[in-house]
């Protein structure tokens, strides 16, 4: 390890670590000497970055491609109202530099891909995964396995959280637990399924704790164990994870969208559906043409905003096919256009509809381009 | 009667119930009993061949049934079976 020294200001700042007997100045030296990459600066990334910065991890990589949105502020406590519209990595860096000037930050305003993952991750000792989709989860895992880096994993959905440490000291990794991802559409993202705002704070903080334990070498990590937390019932479980002898050896990175059944647009892998833009729908409505509008979201989403379509949630669409006209244009819509595309594919395959059009961009596009008074979520 | 803990993503198929009492001497029988009570759940746990899907893990207590006797793992009256799905949320 490089020799590491501390200034008076640092010694005072970290004094509550230094007086823990098993942590002491040696643990703090290890933190200062360490490089951690946090992938995703959202719900999990926020507490991760705040605590790792406050604790004095020497170099922290911040990776995200998105900009701060109003709907992030319910749980992404790294950001403020002033940050809306700014790149997340820039807003995060600005906030974190104010928290601890002794930390070196590297920002990557990009999506993690099979092309750049190895190049970026190889610079770090450890990766903390705070992403929000299956392709990136498998990408982070595989890159960590190839490069031999520990992967501190956290994941959330509504009220439920998972935490583990993968690929640490020959321990199991993500593919040992989940060899293949679920098909698209079965497990909605937080954008579609929702998440209680405090949950990522809890799960991301647990990840930060595991990161500090691994870096400082103290305690027993969650390697080989999966921690589950249900915020609704306050039940916790810790399950064992084993290395799976059937897990294939990971030699190179692959096309993870394809692996997860997605095409490049993030849409379910299915034959193309016919589309209509929000401008075209507006023109149709203005012309009073007789069309049917079907809303395949859930009732609680419909209550936030809607286009006065007939509400038939995706899960019931096949059972409700008799409600869908076959003799006129039917426009199917959802929040972003993904679920409605799935609904159309299912209806076309099973019942042979040929008059269904997907509203491109969903109600989000309508709120952006046609009716800006409509709430987005 | 054993208890099966239903994960959040699958609760839409169990009328939002988080735990279900099931019957049977093995994991397979208990999960089968669960699927009988909630038929919509079946295709999300079993594939076309009746095998447990690879993105779902089944645990008995804190142990993966794959290192026990898989679907034939014995289940006691007070056993707790967990269905663990992959979830991916975290950022947006």
Report the distance separating Cα A168 and Cα A159, nearest Å.
Answer: 27
Known catalytic membership, residue A334: yes
Which of B60, B65, B88 to probe the A interface (max A CBs under 10 A)?
A: B88
* pLDDT averaged over every residue in chain A: 92
Among B7, B67, B85, beta carbon nearest to A242: B67
**Consecutive H or E run containing A157:** strand A151-157
Q: Quick one: pLDDT band at residue A264, thresholds 50, 70, 90?
A: very low
Give the pLDDT of residue A185.
61
Amino acid A192: pLDDT = 63
Topology of the domain covering A34-259 = Rossmann fold (3.40.50)
B90–A44 CB contact, under 8 Å: yes
Give the nearest partner residue to A187 out of B5, B54, B87, using CB atoms.
Answer: B87
pLDDT (0 to 100) of residue A104: 98
The answer to whether the CB atoms of B9 and A187 lie below 8 A apart is: yes
Calculate how close chain A gets to B43, using CA atoms only, in Å.
11
Could A44 and B7 be called an inter-chain contact, meaning their C-beta atoms sit closer than 8 Å? no
Q: A73: nearest CA in chain B? A: B92
Task: Quote the pLDDT of residue A56.
Answer: 98
Q: Is A107 within 8 Å of A231 (Cβ atoms)?
A: no
**What residues of A are in contact with residue B88 (Cβ under 8 Å)?**
131-134, 137, 155, 157, 187, 189
Give the residue extent of every domain in chain A.
Answer: 34-259, 275-369
Q: How far is A149 from chain B (nearest CA, A)?
A: 20
CATH number of A275-369: 3.40.250.10
Domain B2-85, CATH 1.10.3720.10 — does that match? Answer: no
Distance from the A276 Cα atom to the nearest Cα atom in chain B, whole angstroms? 26
Q: Among B55, B59, B85, select the one facing A239 at the smallest CB separation.
A: B59
User: How far is residue A281 CA from its own chain's centroid?
Assistant: 31
Choose, out of A129, A130, A162, the residue to mutate when testing the contact with B (most B CBs < 10 Å).
A162
Exposure letters A139-172 (e unless 16+ CB within 10 A, then b): bbbbbbbbeebbbbbbbbbbbbbbbbbbbbeebb
Q: Is the ipTM of this complex over 0.90?
A: yes
- Distance in Å, alpha carbon of A106 to nearest chain B alpha carbon: 19
- Indicate which residue of A144, A190, A260, A305 is catalytic: A190
Q: Do B85 and A182 touch (CB under 8 A)?
A: yes
Q: Who has greater pLDDT, A265 or B64?
A: B64
Determine which of A20-34, A119-133, A182-196, A295-309 has the lowest per-residue pLDDT on average. A182-196
Interface residues from chain B to A (CB-CB < 8 Å): 5, 7-9, 12, 18, 44, 53-55, 57, 59, 62-64, 66-67, 82, 84-92
Q: Give the pLDDT band of residue A180 (cuts 50, 70, 90).
A: confident
Q: What is the pLDDT of residue A161?
A: 95
DSSP string across B20-62 = EEE--SBHHHHHHHHHHH-HHHHHHHB-TTSPBPTTEEEEETT
- Give the pairing type, strands B80-85 and B56-60: antiparallel
Size of interface A-B (CB pairs under 8 A): 117
- Interchain proximity A239–B63, CB inside 8 Å: yes
Contact residues for A251 (Cβ-Cβ < 8 A; gap 6+): A146
Closest CA to A350 of A310, A322, A309, A311: A322
Per-residue pLDDT, B53: 84
Residue-wise pLDDT for B31-89, tens only, equals 999 999 998 888 888 888 888 888 889 999 999 999 999 999 999 999 999 999 888 88
* Residue of chain A whose Cα is closest to the Cα of B44: A186
Q: Give the pLDDT confidence score for residue A1 in this predicted structure.
A: 62
């Amino acid at each position: 390890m490089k020799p590491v020294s501390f200034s008076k200001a640092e010694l005072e700042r970290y004094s509550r670590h230094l007086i823990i007997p098993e942590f002491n100045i040696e643990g703090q030296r290890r933190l200062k000497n360490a490089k951690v990459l946090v992938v995703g600066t959202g719900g999990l990334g926020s507490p991760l970055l705040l605590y790792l910065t406050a604790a004095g991890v020497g170099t922290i990589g911040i990776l995200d491609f998105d900009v701060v949105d109003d709907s992030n502020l319910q749980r992404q406590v790294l950001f403020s109202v002033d940050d809306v519209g700014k790149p997340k990595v820039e807003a995060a860096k600005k906030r974190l530099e104010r928290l601890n000037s002794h930390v070196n930050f590297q920002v990557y305003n990009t999506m993690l891909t099979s092309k750049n993952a190895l190049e970026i991750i190889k610079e770090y000792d450890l990766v903390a995964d705070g992403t929000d989709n299956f392709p990136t989860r498998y990408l982070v895992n595989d890159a960590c396995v190839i490069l031999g880096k520990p992967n501190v994993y956290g994941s959330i959905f509504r009220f439920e959280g998972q935490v583990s440490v993968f690929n640490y000291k020959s321990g199991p990794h993500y593919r040992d637990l989940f060899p293949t991802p679920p098909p698209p559409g079965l497990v909605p993202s937080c954008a579609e399924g929702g998440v209680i705002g405090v949950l990522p704070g809890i799960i991301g903080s647990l990840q930060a704790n595991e990161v500090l334990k691994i870096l400082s070498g103290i305690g027993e990590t969650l390697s080989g164990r999966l921690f589950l937390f249900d915020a609704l019932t306050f039940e916790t479980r810790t399950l064992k994870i084993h290395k799976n002898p059937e897990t294939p050896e990971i030699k190179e990175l692959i096309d993870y969208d394809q692996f997860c059944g997605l095409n490049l647009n993030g849409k379910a892998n299915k034959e193309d559906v016919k589309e209509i833009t929000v401008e075209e729908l507006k023109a149709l409505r203005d012309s009073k043409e007789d069309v049917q509008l079907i809303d395949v979201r859930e009732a609680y989403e419909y209550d936030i905003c809607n286009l006065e379509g007939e509400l038939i949630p995706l899960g019931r669409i096949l059972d409700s096919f008799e409600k869908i006209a076959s003799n006129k244009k039917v426009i199917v819509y959802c929040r972003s256009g993904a679920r409605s595309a799935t609904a159309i594919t299912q209806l076309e395959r099973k019942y042979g509809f040929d008059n269904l059009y997907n509203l491109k961009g969903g109600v989000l596009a309508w709120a952006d381009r046609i009716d800006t008074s409509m709430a987005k979520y | 009667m054993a208890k099966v803990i239903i994960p959040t993503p699958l609760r839409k198929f169990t009328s939002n119930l988080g735990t279900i009492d099931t019957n049977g001497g093995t994991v397979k029988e208990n999960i089968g009993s669960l699927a009988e009570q909630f038929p919509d759940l079946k295709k999300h746990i079993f594939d076309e061949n009746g095998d447990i899907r690879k993105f779902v893990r089944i645990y008995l207590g804190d142990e993966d049934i794959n290192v026990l006797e898989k679907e034939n793992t014995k289940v006691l009256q007070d056993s707790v079976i967990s269905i663990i799905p992959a979830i991916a949320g975290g950022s947006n």
